[in-house]
A and B are shown apart, each in its own frame.
Chain A
């Protein structure tokens, strides 16, 4: 500690900017980690909180994916001796249309039995209703809201509120206001209760329920109850405690979580190089100080401990700042992530609180400090090995020794060999891809100093031809001091490769998506029950389809029913549509199977089609017989075709509508794909449908162009999070450049002063510093672009094999790469402005005497 106060503190005070930059390097990594994780967890937590509060005393919930099931199931469940109470539930989210209120969750319940499971405490309401729930039943426009919702919207008992329902806009009367807390705090308090039979009508559920919530008799264990219910209902139903719904939601949003974690890790990796750079330089600059310490009796361990302690303190400071700003970032991001989840996965949730999770905070602190100490480990070891007698020979330590260079090359060769082995091995696709990716990155890191040397040597004539003195000085500085620049080059290289990799994935995804939309998304109009096409809360009765078909300007109508069901332990989207009609109209890219045969078999109900991505993730192949749980029992059908399909982010199972109606006893529809007759424009068709059906039904008519724009907008939002992470990575790299230049200028104070002493104008000194920065950027970008080309290959592989199963074409993002070169040079130039000014404004006399 004494050493820290005597030696470190004065050094830190002298190099304030560098210390700040180092802390910022760690802080940025931690910000991304804490921000992304907290935002993600807050959304998941919000969902789970809502589930828990809605569940009340329910021990088990019975569902059949998202599809719901017929009413008669309730009677069978209630008759089971193990069951104490079983009540039906319908859940749907509706746009309130009220300023600042967003969506409200409406719970359809049977008030006569529901009070046995859920506690309803009223602040005010019709006394008759509070005393007798039958009054609630007798008045189908009844609605109970929470006190928060009522207060925000100035509603009182007897007040009216309107929603668009499946039977057109309807006005509801507030008959009770629930007290805060418990059930009333679900969905952030934006909750309303409605009679279940009214809900069936309003949300288009026909004669079905979404779920049954139940309580077992006191002497019946959960496991016993579960097995009794399974025996009663068969494997087409999920019988689980309420908490498992959170897990399902987590499983659906898995891709986002993986992406967030990978990118946080990458940001920290880049931060690691910034810290390594700082400590490597500090050890070089304080060599004589270390030599004195050693000659005065300090042990190697004490010297190493001093540097590691310094790194731990910097890491801790950076982590604390990162946590504070990360939580602020999470606050800003949580609602964005929540609405993104709603749009992509069609699962409504509401972020109630963005709170600091102690586990994440502890992990962030641990990761920040560990990263910092890990980064400082090698410099600290170097410091401990300083030979006191040689400590005053400064210059020699700026470059790597021949031995170091040789070891780096051997290490790089080993990693490249490992990458090659991973490439040609078969089996364990995910593992070999991750191992190959890591090997390539490590090889690139080890090769960086040698490649910098070669590239700068190649650039030297160009730099000199631009500005002879400034160019030669910039190139010379980079060649002579690889220790000073290589970590920055590595940080920038990794950032650029990340940009290229993610940019390439983004480009390929858009292209693939555009290809799918052109092949499959060809109806003139889409008639949806919700404004948001992915929302499955409302459903049309099949009769609307008949009405549409009767319209003389409509050529063909395809009825689409989408719902998630549990397939091999995870929620998977089913798309049920009239395959005959679909086969005539769309031409998806077929990956496996004979196109005419697969449609014939699927249309006859003798098979299903799988999205290529889903088949890859679930290990399903053409000809396999898959088991899909349905209320009528387990549906066993062969896979007759595999196609490229982006109906859902994780891929979908396509089946004929007749199969769905037969097995799920559900003929409701989420979406109508409408083809107009020749000569009818989309605008005209939309106007006429709305004129004929709009007044009586809740429906949204979207043109083909609107749907495409919606899909692209959601995709843009998805990738915008990625771009934000890229921005952070680039920012960390910029910090590295500023750090390197600050050090370079300190190191070259005398050199730059000599330049001025022998006649160099301030402009010329500035130009020398700018050129050095731009040379660092150019070399780093070139290396990053090359590494990015390899990383993109791995990203595409990992996405295919491990994350989304999607087959993306390898296409190098040339435009991004071309834009990065001038952009990074400009960023480097801007980063160099401050250091260049400090170089020309320091005292010449002092600088000439500087050692």
Chain B
């Protein structure tokens, strides 16, 4: 499902920084993988590259058969829209939209008709147990509830890949455990490929596969 072939990423500034250094790896369809490493090891960079938020300096990334390095920005957006769901550490909900509107955002962007959008968004919010909070604004929700809305948004088109960047990093341990449980549950029910970037070894070890990065290189790949 996800293939990285000799992928490097350098950031040019006053000092050239290599965030990823010729990384090659494969993640199969339906796998749930955690990505760990110290700060600056390159894990978020890798997630951003796989998610098409950024482009590699060299190498090739293939997502669900689509080579990302040679596509335009809009084609990259279409890959994100159709194949990838994002869950962010800081939720990144749009503050002016209600829960229902936030969850429905990718569907609107795909141009679905309103009735279908409404049905799907309600279904997703029920799935994350927020069916009773449809018209609330993000500021009216707790951290855990916000992350649930973000998860509902990420799942809105039932994408084959779900990328989560520290999904529990901004939550207390109890809520974090709940969210992790929800993600695992959804993985089992929906069969999506999930890649979680985390500092939390508990979260990492709960995944069947863990990839460890150090100084932009894969130093460990554990399968359980």
Interface residues, chain A, with chain B CB atoms under 8 Å away? 395, 468-469, 472-473, 475-477, 479-480, 750-751, 754-764, 843-845, 848
A468, A472, A480, A759: the one contacting B81 at CB < 8 Å is A759
Q: B73 interface residue, CB < 8 Å from A?
A: yes
Contacts of B82 in A (CB 8 A): 759
A750 to B77, CA, bound (A): 16
Contacts of A756 in B (CB 8 A): 77, 80
A757 to B78, CA, bound (A): 10
B109 x A759 contact (CB < 8 A): yes
A472 to B95, CA, bound (A): 11
B97 x A758 contact (CB < 8 A): no
A761 x B77 contact (CB < 8 A): yes
Contacts of A754 in B (CB 8 A): 88, 92-94
B77 x A480 contact (CB < 8 A): no
Give the shortest distance, in Å, between B165 (CB) and chain A (any CB).
9
Closest chain A residue to B80, Cβ basis:
A759
B96 x A480 contact (CB < 8 A): yes
A480 x B95 contact (CB < 8 A): yes
Contacts of B109 in A (CB 8 A): 469, 755, 758-761, 764
Contacts of A761 in B (CB 8 A): 74, 77-78, 109
A473 x B88 contact (CB < 8 A): no
Contacts of B157 in A (CB 8 A): 759
Contacts of B92 in A (CB 8 A): 750, 754, 757, 848
Contacts of B154 in A (CB 8 A): 758
B51, B73, B101, B106: the one contacting A762 at CB < 8 Å is B73
Contacts of A468 in B (CB 8 A): 108, 114
The 10 closest A-B pairs by CB, nearest first: A476-B96, A759-B81, A469-B108, A754-B92, A844-B53, A759-B109, A468-B108, A758-B106, A759-B106, A760-B109
Q: Which of B138-164 contact A (CB under 8 A)?
A: 139, 153-154, 157
Of the listed residues A480, A750, A845, the one surrounded by the most CB atoms of chain B closer than 10 A to its CB is A845
Contacts of B80 in A (CB 8 A): 756-759
Known A468-B114, A759-B80, A759-B110: A477·B105 in contact at CB below 8 Å: no
| Interface band, chain B | 20 to 34
Give the shortest distance, in Å, between A477 (CB) and chain B (any CB).
6
A476, A479, A843: the one contacting B94 at CB < 8 Å is A476
A541 to B27, CA, bound (A): 108
Contacts of A763 in B (CB 8 A): 74
Interface residues, chain B, with chain A CB atoms under 8 Å away? 48, 51, 53-54, 73-74, 77-78, 80-82, 86, 88, 92-97, 101, 105-106, 108-110, 114, 139, 153-154, 157
A845 x B95 contact (CB < 8 A): no
14 contacts between A and B (CB under 8 A): A468-B114, A472-B101, A476-B95, A480-B95, A755-B109, A757-B86, A758-B109, A758-B153, A761-B77, A762-B77, A843-B54, A844-B53, A844-B54, A845-B53
A473 x B94 contact (CB < 8 A): yes
Give the shortest distance, in Å, between A744 (CB) and chain B (any CB).
12
A473 x B106 contact (CB < 8 A): no
Give the shortest distance, in Å, between A769 (CB) and chain B (any CB).
14
B97 x A476 contact (CB < 8 A): yes
Closest chain A residue to B163, Cβ basis:
A757
Give the shortest distance, in Å, between A241 (CB) and chain B (any CB).
70
A764 to B111, CA, bound (A): 11
Contacts of B88 in A (CB 8 A): 754, 848
Closest chain A residue to B157, Cβ basis:
A759
Of the listed residues B53, B77, B101, the one surrounded by the most CB atoms of chain A closer than 10 A to its CB is B77
Contacts of B51 in A (CB 8 A): 757
Give the shortest distance, in Å, between A399 (CB) and chain B (any CB).
11
A12 to B109, CA, bound (A): 36
Contacts of A760 in B (CB 8 A): 77, 81, 109
Give the shortest distance, in Å, between A844 (CB) and chain B (any CB).
5
Contacts of A751 in B (CB 8 A): 94-95
Closest chain B residue to A758, Cβ basis:
B106
A479 x B53 contact (CB < 8 A): no
Closest chain A residue to B110, Cβ basis:
A759
Closest chain B residue to A396, Cβ basis:
B139
A479 x B108 contact (CB < 8 A): no
A110 to B96, CA, bound (A): 85
A845 x B114 contact (CB < 8 A): no
Give the shortest distance, in Å, between B54 (CB) and chain A (any CB).
5
A844 to B132, CA, bound (A): 33
A472, A750, A762: the one contacting B96 at CB < 8 Å is A472
A476, A755, A848: the one contacting B53 at CB < 8 Å is A848
Contacts of A476 in B (CB 8 A): 94-97
Give the shortest distance, in Å, between A440 (CB) and chain B (any CB).
32
Contacts of A764 in B (CB 8 A): 109
Give the shortest distance, in Å, between B112 (CB) and chain A (any CB).
10
Of the listed residues A468, A472, A750, the one surrounded by the most CB atoms of chain B closer than 10 A to its CB is A468
A763 to B114, CA, bound (A): 20
A755 x B54 contact (CB < 8 A): no
Give the shortest distance, in Å, between B7 (CB) and chain A (any CB).
15
Give the shortest distance, in Å, between A747 (CB) and chain B (any CB).
11
B97 x A473 contact (CB < 8 A): yes
A751 to B90, CA, bound (A): 12
A844 to B76, CA, bound (A): 12
A477 x B96 contact (CB < 8 A): yes
Contacts of B93 in A (CB 8 A): 754
Contacts of B48 in A (CB 8 A): 844-845
Given contacts A473-B96, A760-B77, 9 further A-B contacts (CB under 8 A): A395-B95, A750-B92, A756-B77, A756-B80, A759-B110, A761-B77, A762-B73, A763-B74, A844-B53
Closest chain A residue to B112, Cβ basis:
A468
Contacts of A472 in B (CB 8 A): 96-97, 101
Give the shortest distance, in Å, between B192 (CB) and chain A (any CB).
16
A472 to B78, CA, bound (A): 22
Contacts of B54 in A (CB 8 A): 843-845
Closest chain A residue to B74, Cβ basis:
A761
Contacts of B73 in A (CB 8 A): 762
Contacts of B106 in A (CB 8 A): 758-759
Contacts of A750 in B (CB 8 A): 92
Give the shortest distance, in Å, between A182 (CB) and chain B (any CB).
69
A761 to B52, CA, bound (A): 13
Contacts of B94 in A (CB 8 A): 473, 476, 751, 754-755
Give the shortest distance, in Å, between B79 (CB) and chain A (any CB).
9
Closest chain A residue to B48, Cβ basis:
A845
Of the listed residues A480, A759, A761, A845, the one surrounded by the most CB atoms of chain B closer than 10 A to its CB is A759
A64 to B78, CA, bound (A): 86
A643 to B54, CA, bound (A): 78
Contacts of A480 in B (CB 8 A): 95-96
A757 to B88, CA, bound (A): 11
Give the shortest distance, in Å, between B121 (CB) and chain A (any CB).
12
Closest chain B residue to A756, Cβ basis:
B77
Closest chain B residue to A460, Cβ basis:
B96
Give the shortest distance, in Å, between B75 (CB) and chain A (any CB).
10
Contacts of A843 in B (CB 8 A): 54
A477 to B94, CA, bound (A): 10
Contacts of B96 in A (CB 8 A): 472-473, 475-477, 479-480
B86 x A758 contact (CB < 8 A): yes
Closest chain A residue to B159, Cβ basis:
A759
Give the shortest distance, in Å, between A323 (CB) and chain B (any CB).
40
A616 to B110, CA, bound (A): 68
Contacts of B74 in A (CB 8 A): 761-763
Contacts of B153 in A (CB 8 A): 758
Give the shortest distance, in Å, between A218 (CB) and chain B (any CB).
84
A848 to B150, CA, bound (A): 14
A361 to B42, CA, bound (A): 59
A755 x B95 contact (CB < 8 A): no
Closest chain B residue to A471, Cβ basis:
B108
A476 to B77, CA, bound (A): 24
A750 to B53, CA, bound (A): 13
Give the shortest distance, in Å, between B39 (CB) and chain A (any CB).
13
Contacts of A848 in B (CB 8 A): 53, 88, 92
A480 to B93, CA, bound (A): 14
B105 x A755 contact (CB < 8 A): yes
B105 x A758 contact (CB < 8 A): yes
